[in-house]
Structure 1
């Protein structure tokens, strides 16, 4: 399934996502999983500079696409990163799909990429009011919404952001504290 057992193997796995897409075009996003994660982490670094855990969640949030089925990629990704990056990052990874469903159900002007619109249907579509209440009750819901907004902003072909080499020491330091 995957070979992630520690921070170094997680970094190697992330590096291997260069050229790997969430789904074949036109169903997937226009950037590969590594570029998408790097862009998402950069957006979060700008928006929440003091929250390394949230930034790392942005970096790894779609890792599950490389090891699982699309509707379950958030849960699969959370399971992969939990032993290395701990429960908070894993919870944020797991919640980024419910956050999309929440935003799509509560904000009429919430813009989704074409790929996100297509995957929303496979992931349960918009939330019912009961699902919204359950989502909002999760302690990480607000941060998951922030991650989700960064996720949508992180799909720009050719956008230059800091590379994995810049994130590696931060990920190693964070993981050593888990």
Structure 2
């Protein structure tokens, strides 16, 4: 298969995932999965992030679109492990500069909750519930381990965009616009680490 055909197929697969499940509400938040993804990607672009990080922001919750649990699984006490599912699925085609911040974005929340009381106090009720299911704030050993990961700064940036991406009705560019960044990364993968 040619790289061009493979890129087109991956983009179509992403489009299909958002078409099939993107209109689902985002885990107790006032936005859909697609709105959340577009807002996160838009925030990354506004900060002039790399194409890899803009792609990570767009696809950071793709695991929610891939898993087989119901949209309200957190209320049922289930951690859907979306960060691992999404990163593993994306790893087939994307460099670590995309997949590692995604894999670590839940750890980034747990880290921030352990190191920043104000951050913890601003979490939405849905985010507090998922934090509990994800293991709660890091302990000192986990904090140090996270800080030693070469991708921790990118994961923290992604976490900031993730938390900001919950505004009902916020105007953003559409999915096709952000898929141009995804395409650029697929056609010219560069690992930044």
Fold agreement, TM-score > 0.5: yes
Q: Which residues of 2 match residues 14-163 of structure 1 at below 5 A?
A: 14-23=18-27, 28-47=28-47, 49-68=48-67, 70-110=79-119, 111-163=122-174
Inter-CA distance 84–15: structure 2 relative to 1 (3 Å threshold)? farther
Structure 2: give runs of 5+ residues left out of the alignment: 1-8, 70-78
Larger Rg belongs to: 2
Structure 1 residue 55 displacement after superposition: 1.0
Pick 1 or 2: higher relative contact order, CA cutoff 8 A, min separation 6: 2
CA deviation vs aligned residue, 1:20-42 (integer Å, no higher than 9, x gap): 2343xxxx221111110000000
Structure 1 residue 66 displacement after superposition: 2.1
Equivalents in 2 of 1:50, 1:43: separation in Å?
A: 9
Structure 1 residue 87 displacement after superposition: 1.9
Tell me which moved more, 117-126 or 71-80: 71-80
Structure 1: give runs of 5+ residues left out of the alignment: none
* Residues matched between the structures, number: 169
CA deviation vs aligned residue, 1:148-174 (integer Å, no higher than 9, x gap): 011110000111101112112221121
Task: Tell me the secondary structure at the aligned position of residue 171 of structure 2.
Answer: coil
RMSD: 1.5
- TM-score scaled to structure 1, two decimals? 0.88
Q: 2:12 aligns with which of 3, 8, 14?
A: 8
Task: Tell me the secondary structure at the aligned position of residue 93 of structure 2.
Answer: helix
Structure 1 residue 71 displacement after superposition: 4.2
Inter-CA distance 109–43: structure 2 relative to 1 (3 Å threshold)? same
Inter-CA distance 71–129: structure 2 relative to 1 (3 Å threshold)? farther
Inter-CA distance 160–17: structure 2 relative to 1 (3 Å threshold)? farther
Structure 1 residue 126 displacement after superposition: 0.3
Equivalents in 2 of 1:82, 1:33: separation in Å?
A: 21
CA deviation vs aligned residue, 1:85-143 (integer Å, no higher than 9, x gap): 22221111110000000000000110212211110000000000000011111111011
